[in-house]
C-alpha cells in the first residue's frame, strides 16, 4: 500500500462517526432516563438476526461464493434485509469479497488486508478512497444474471431508507414506542451489525487457530463465531471457500449453516456444496505434520522421532494416492455409480476406509505431539 494516504471518504467517515456516537450516548441515555419497552428489545433482536443472517447466508455464502442455490422467495428476503445491514449492494459486496479471497493478505490488492493493521482491516479501509476498495464488477458477471440481484442493486438506497428508517418508524407508531424502537432496532442494531461483520475482516484474521491451512492469516475462533453467525471459523472458510458451511464440526456454532439446511429441508434451497470429509481430514493432518516437522528442523526432536515423522508422511502420501485412485474410478463409472448398487457400495466403503485411516493417523500424531510437549 502506498505511503501517501488517499483522500478521506467524508460521507462514510461522518456516517460511522454519527451512528457510533449515537449508539454510545443517545441509546444508553434514553435507556436510563426513559427506559425501553419489551417491543423495542424484541424488534432489536429480530432485525439484528435478519440483517446479520442475510449477509452471511445471502451476500456471503449464496452470492459471493455460490455454495448453494435458493428459490426466488429466499433470495428476495435475503436481498431486502441484506440492504438493511447497510453494507452496499450484493454486486458491490460480492465483487470486493472475491478480490479479498483472490489476494488475501496482499496489502496492494486485498481491500482490507490485516497486514495493514487492525484498524485498517476493521473499518479504516472504508474511510479513505483506497484503490483496493474499488469494486471490480467484472468479477461478478455471473451474479448479474440474477434478476433479484440486479433489482436490489438498482433500488439499493431506497431499500436502505425503507428498512433502516421507515420500518423502525412504522413499528414505533404501531407499538407505541417510537423513540425506543428507532434507537434500539434502528441505531444500535445497525452499529452492532456493522462491527460484528467487521470482526470477520479484523479479529478473524489475527486471533485464533489455523487448523486447516497457513496459506493466509485467516483463523478459527469460536468466540468470533458467536458474534458473526458462524463466520468465525474463518480458517476453514479460506481453506474450503466453496463449502456452504463454516463450522464443519457438529458442535460448531454456525446458525447460517443451520438456516441453509432448514431451507433445503423445506425445498427452498438446493445444490449445497460440501467439501469431502477426506479433504478436510487431510488438511488437518498436513497441519499436524507441519508442526512436527518444524520441531524436527529446530533440532528439538530426537532422531527416532524424525524417522517416525517420515514414515507418517509416507503413509499420508499413500493414503492420498489411493483416495485419488478411488475418486478416478468413481468419475470413470459416471452414471453407473447411481444405477449399480454394488459398485456404489464398494466405492462408498472404500472412501470410508480411507477416511478412517486418516483419522487413526491423526490420532497417532496427536499422541506424538503430546509426547514432544507441543500444546
For the segment 291-300, the average pLDDT, to the nearest whole number, is 72
244 pLDDT more than 50: yes
The predicted structure's pLDDT at residue 321: 84
Is the CB of residue 310 less than 8 Å from the CB of residue 317? no
**pLDDT by residue (tens digit) across 253-294?**
999 999 999 999 999 999 999 999 889 989 988 888 888 787
Share of the chain above pLDDT 90, in %: 67
pLDDT bracket for residue 375 (50, 70, 90)? very low
pLDDT higher than threshold 80 for residue 344: no
Whole-model pTM: value is 0.89
pLDDT at 360: 86
Cβ neighbours of residue 288 closer than 8 Å, sequence gap 6 or more: 362, 365, 366, 369
Q: Which of 62-71, 85-94, 234-243, 361-370 has the lowest mean pLDDT?
A: 361-370
User: Can you tell me the mean pLDDT for 52-65?
Assistant: 97
DSSP labels, 10-68: HHHHHHHHHHHHHHHTHHHHHHHHT---HHHHHHHHHHHHHHHHIIIIIIIIIIIS--S
Residue pair 208/220 in contact (Cβ under 8 Å)? The answer is: yes
pLDDT score for 373: 58
Lowest mean pLDDT among 49-58, 127-136, 200-209: 127-136
What is the distance between the alpha carbons of residues 63 and 44, in angstroms, rounded to a whole number? 26
Q: In which band, very low, low, confident or very high, does the pLDDT at 336 lie, cut at 50, 70 and 90?
A: low
Per-residue pLDDT tens digits for 177-219: 999 999 999 999 999 999 999 999 999 999 999 999 998 999 9
Residue carrying the nine cell digits 440483517: 51
In this prediction, what percent of the chain has a pLDDT beyond 70? 94
Please tell me the predicted confidence (pLDDT) of residue 301. Answer: 58
Predicted local confidence at residue 361, as pLDDT: 83
Average pLDDT, the chain: 90
Average confidence (pLDDT) over 116-139: 91
Q: Which helix (H) or strand (E) holds 270?
A: strand 269-270
Per-residue pLDDT at 2: 47
Domain residue spans of the chain: 10-270, 277-371
pLDDT at 154 over 90: yes
**Ramachandran bin of 220, using left for φ above 0, alpha for ψ from -120 to 50, beta for the remaining angles:** beta
| Dist. CA 233–CA 321, nearest whole Å | 29
Q: With bands split at pLDDT 50, 70 and 90, how would you rate the model's confidence at 1?
A: very low
When pLDDT is cut at 50, 70 and 90, the band that residue 302 belongs to is: low
Question: How far lies 291's CA from each of 206, 285, 287, 294, 295, in Å?
Answer: 19, 10, 6, 5, 7
Amino acid at each position: 500500500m502506498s505511503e501517501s494516504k488517499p483522500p478521506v471518504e467524508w460521507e462514510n467517515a461522518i456516517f460511522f462517526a454519527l451512528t457510533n456516537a449515537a449508539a454510545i450516548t443517545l441509546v444508553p441515555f434514553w435507556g436510563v432516563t426513559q427506559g425501553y419497552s419489551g417491543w423495542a428489545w424484541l424488534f432489536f433482536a429480530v432485525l439484528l438476526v435478519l440483517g446479520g443472517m442475510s449477509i452471511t447466508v445471502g451476500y456471503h455464502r449464496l452470492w459471493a461464493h455460490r455454495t448453494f442455490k435458493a428459490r426466488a422467495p429466499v433470495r428476495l428476503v435475503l436481498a431486502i434485509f441484506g440492504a438493511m445491514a447497510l453494507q452496499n449492494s450484493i454486486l458491490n459486496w460480492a465483487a470486493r469479497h472475491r478480490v479479498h479471497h483472490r489476494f488475501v493478505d496482499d496489502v496492494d490488492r486485498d481491500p482490507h488486508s490485516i497486514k495493514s493493521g487492525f484498524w485498517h482491516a476493521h473499518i479504516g479501509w472504508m474511510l479513505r478512497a483506497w484503490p483496493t476498495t474499488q469494486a471490480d464488477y467484472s468479477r461478478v458477471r455471473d451474479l448479474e444474471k440474477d434478476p433479484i440481484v440486479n433489482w436490489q442493486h438498482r433500488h439499493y438506497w431506497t431499500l436502505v431508507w425503507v428498512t433502516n428508517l421507515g420500518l423502525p418508524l412504522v413499528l414505533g407508531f404501531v407499538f407505541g414506542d417510537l423513540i425506543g424502537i428507532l434507537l434500539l432496532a434502528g441505531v444500535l442494531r445497525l452499529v452492532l451489525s456493522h462491527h460484528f461483520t467487521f470482526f470477520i475482516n479484523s479479529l478473524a484474521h489475527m486471533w485464533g487457530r489455523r487448523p486447516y491451512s497457513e496459506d493466509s492469516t485467516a483463523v478459527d475462533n469460536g468466540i468470533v463465531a458467536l458474534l458473526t453467525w458462524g463466520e468465525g471459523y474463518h480458517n476453514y472458510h479460506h481453506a474450503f471457500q466453496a463449502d456452504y458451511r463454516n463450522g464443519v464440526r457438529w458442535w460448531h456454532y454456525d446458525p447460517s449453516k443451520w438456516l441453509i439446511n432448514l431451507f433445503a429441508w423445506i425445498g427452498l434451497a438446493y445444490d449445497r456444496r460440501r467439501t469431502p470429509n477426506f479433504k478436510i481430514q487431510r488438511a488437518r493432518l498436513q497441519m499436524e505434520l507441519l508442526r512436527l516437522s518444524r520441531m524436527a528442523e529446530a533440532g528439538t526432536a530426537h532422531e527416532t522421532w524424525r524417522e517416525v515423522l517420515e514414515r507418517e508422511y509416507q503413509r499420508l502420501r499413500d493414503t492420498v494416492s489411493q483416495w485419488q485412485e478411488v475418486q478416478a474410478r468413481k468419475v470413470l463409472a459416471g452414471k453407473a455409480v447411481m444405477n449399480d448398487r454394488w459398485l456404489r457400495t464398494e466405492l462408498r466403503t472404500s472412501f470410508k476406509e480411507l477416511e478412517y485411516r486418516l483419522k487413526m493417523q491423526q490420532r497417532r500424531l496427536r499422541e506424538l505431539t503430546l509426547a514432544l510437549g507441543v500444546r
